[in-house]
Structure 1
Amino acid sequence: MISTQQEGNSLLKDLERIKKKTRISNKIINNQLDQIIAQIEEAKISNDYSQLKDKLQVLYLLRKNYKPLTKIKQTNNECYAYISKMGKNMDKLYKKNLQYGQEHVELNQTILTKLIKNHLLRDGEFEAYEILVKESGSEESQYHQFFAEVQNIVDDLKQRKLDSAIKWAEQREKKSTNNLFYELLKQRVIQLVQTEGINAAIYFMRNNSSFQEQSQGRLYEICLITYSLLLWPNIENTKYYYLYDDEKNWPRILKLFLEVASKSQNIMIKSEIRTVFSAGCLAMPKLIKYNQITRNRSSEVLVNDIPIDIEIGKEYKYHSFFVCPVSKEVTTSDNPPVLLKCGHVISKLSAHKMIANKSKLKCPTCPIETKGADLPELIFI
């Protein structure tokens, strides 16, 4: 079996060949480019400059000098062949018996049942939920009553009824729900204008104590609503039309309610199952393509990390991450971010390397020093 040192020497030889070939390629390419530049300069002298700038003239010139371009392409191909050869050599030296694709994950039945129950509750499938609880012999979900109440409010909002939502927000009046409470009351004003007329809306604004309280600090918005009343019903082509755009306002209020309700229970807006399914559908095309490309390769396939970027949108990003400014690597649980005395953050491994045998380390961003013992770990949420 080839020793580690022999493997390293073999790869170093390949690297030297690549360096040598790159230097030769650069000389050849530069010579060919010099020839093209010289011929272009000659064309500038013998031809009109304005014609030279014309795309057709340039294309003609390039076709005329096709041999230098062919030589450049051939040289590049030879250089990349050496790089490809080194990659194949690495595959041969470090070939292992690897399991391709993802490992089979055993799902915990109790956790899976809990996820399915919460998914059914979120979707308002209470009958299916009751059957699952009975057949699985599991306990009632702690969110059963909460989701039942939320589903009733959601149904009302879809029918453009505000009473239940306003009552719910008023009972939970906190900083986190203040904006929801105000938006519901504002929508009630707009609804009164549309259904009962301007006088009913003005009466509500003047006499409803909750609206008066929620209006504090929102003078500009209240002025906009008041100005819009002067133009009603000829509001369509004015800047106040957004207040009466039901096709946008009702879905926005429904979304805001679901966000606030979910936050009040520290749960996700969408069920975990639906979120995973949606993210999987978005990522599947790239995953299939990646699997087809790597299926017959001997390079290692990582189980937890795939070396390609799969963009599925910000709404599916739930975890913050930190890139160390020193190592340029993403921190992990084994190499967490640490806080320096000055307030700057680097990875724990980078900090230990910078300390070495010293008792202090100098911040890579500013000149302040930190003791090696004073490196609290940070947790990003």
Structure 2
Amino acid sequence: MEVNSIKDAFDRVSKKQKVSSSKSQETIEQINQEIQQALSGIQAATNSEHNLILAGLKAKLKEIAPLGQLETTQKEQNVAFSKYIKLLEKNFNPDISKAYRNVDFDLHTVNQIVASHFYREGLFDIGDSFVNECHEESIVERKTHFLEMYKILESMKTRDLGPAIKWATANHENLQNNGSDIELKLHRLQFFEILQHGRTEEALKYIQTHISPFGDQHLPVIQKLMGCLVYVKKLNSSPYSHLLSPNHWAKLAHELVQQFCIIVGESYKSPLGVTIAAGLQGLPTLLKLANVMSGKKQEWQSMKQLPVPVDLDKDFQFHSIFVCPVSRDQASENNPPMLMSCGHVLCKQSITKLTKNNITRPFKCPYCPTEVEMVQCKQLHF
């Protein structure tokens, strides 16, 4: 795919559109100017001169030929746009079914994934309709979890931290095991809500009751909160004004969703959404592979491993992988990555081929002049 040629074609269309818009606006302004001059002339002239002025306006409009100018610029734009469409059709195959691979899906699992996606996104009515249509009652428990989560988030939008604090208190041990301090952050926000209303004594009592138990591990945080009490009437201009930023609410809501999903055993991101997003990125490579394989009269769908790498963003890399730079094979239990004495890494099968199955036979590293022996190679564990 010639990305540069597509970009150049797009730039040409964009340029034509700007030129067309500019010329059209110029023509309209010219016509408006002539009409305004004619109206001014009519208002200042006698009745006998009106026809003469209108005749002059008609002659000027004929000379300008607005329709001809507009048609010319529009025609040039349409030609450029038509070429761009043809270029897209040439480089992008609209028949994405070629990248489809026959896989036996478990319908029950697929239904659960789809229904869970609706509930995860807060689309509870749609989720209920889908569950009723496919008779997947076992998914209702997930709905209960996400319903609780969205009620907490809705309360946070109105600055009501009660439900969030109640949930964090009930899951205190789980949050500690996860290394999360979200419970303290919620109490800190609640403290500022009290303090911003000028209720100093209530804010101090809140620290003593709800925040002081975290003092063993978060003493600097408590010290800052105590310092805020001095500036109760001018918090916005105090050294602690950054703690009042609305960004803290957004970040805390984001963290709450993450911790909530971990505790109820759900992934933070929708599996369906991640799968579709990854598929969209990999689709061009799969379509190109399907076209190449069909030209060679080979069936790529029967392959256990794709012959080409599918590059995806780091967001889709959930565990470390290693692809041998020599064989282009992805490392596996039977073909693990091996660290050579020179510091370079190859898969075990590639090293075996280089030694010709002789573990004591030295071989040259493909990437540096170092002589390496297989017995010196160490297996890497990711």
TM (normalized to structure 1)?
A: 0.56
Aligned partner of 1:102 in structure 2 is 99
Q: What is the 5 A alignment of 1:118-133?
A: 118-133=116-131
Q: What is the 5 A alignment of 1:26-41?
A: none
Aligned partner of 1:78 in structure 2 is none
1:275 aligned partner, one-letter code = V
Name the CA distance, whole Å, in 2 between partners of 1:352 and 1:296. 30
- Write the deviation string for residues 332-352 of structure 1: whole angstroms up to 9, x where unpaired: 447642577999975232353
Q: CA RMSD in A?
A: 4.6
Alignment: residue pair count = 272
Q: What is the 5 A alignment of 1:1-381?
A: 101-106=98-103, 107-141=105-139, 142-172=141-171, 173=173, 174-176=176-178, 178-208=180-210, 211-237=211-237, 239-246=239-246, 248-279=247-278, 283=281, 287=284, 312=313, 314-324=314-324, 327=326, 329=328, 331-333=330-332, 336-338=335-337, 346-353=346-353, 356-358=356-358, 378=381, 380=382
Q: Which runs of 5+ in 2 are unaligned?
A: 1-95
Name the CA distance, whole Å, in 2 between partners of 1:361 and 1:249. 61
Name the CA distance, whole Å, in 1 between partners of 2:204 and 2:360. 68
Equivalent residue of 2:284, what SS? helix
Identity of aligned residues (%): 19
Name the CA distance, whole Å, in 1 between partners of 2:322 and 2:380. 12
Asked if the contact 1:361–1:370 (Cα under 8 Å) also holds between the matched residues in 2, the reply is: yes
Equivalent residue of 1:269, what SS? coil
Bigger relative CO (Cα 8 Å, ≥ 6 apart)? 1
Q: Which runs of 5+ in 1 are unaligned?
A: 1-98
2:193 aligned partner, one-letter code = Q
Asked if the contact 1:340–1:375 (Cα under 8 Å) also holds between the matched residues in 2, the reply is: yes
2:220 aligned partner, one-letter code = Y
- Write the deviation string for residues 309-346 of structure 1: whole angstroms up to 9, x where unpaired: 7564x43432321245x748463447642577999975
TM (normalized to structure 2)?
A: 0.56
Q: 1:279 Cα deviation (Å)?
A: 4.8
Asked if the contact 2:338–2:348 (Cα under 8 Å) also holds between the matched residues in 1, the reply is: no
Name the CA distance, whole Å, in 2 between partners of 1:213 and 1:367. 61
Name the CA distance, whole Å, in 2 between partners of 1:367 and 1:229. 69
2:250 aligned partner, one-letter code = P
2:284 aligned partner, one-letter code = L
Q: 1:220 to 1:350 in 2, by over 3 A?
A: farther
Q: 1:359 to 1:118 in 2, by over 3 A?
A: same
Please state which structure has a larger fraction of its residues in helix. Answer: 2
- Write the deviation string for residues 85-140 of structure 1: whole angstroms up to 9, x where unpaired: xxxxxxxxxxxxxx994134444422221111111221233333333333212341
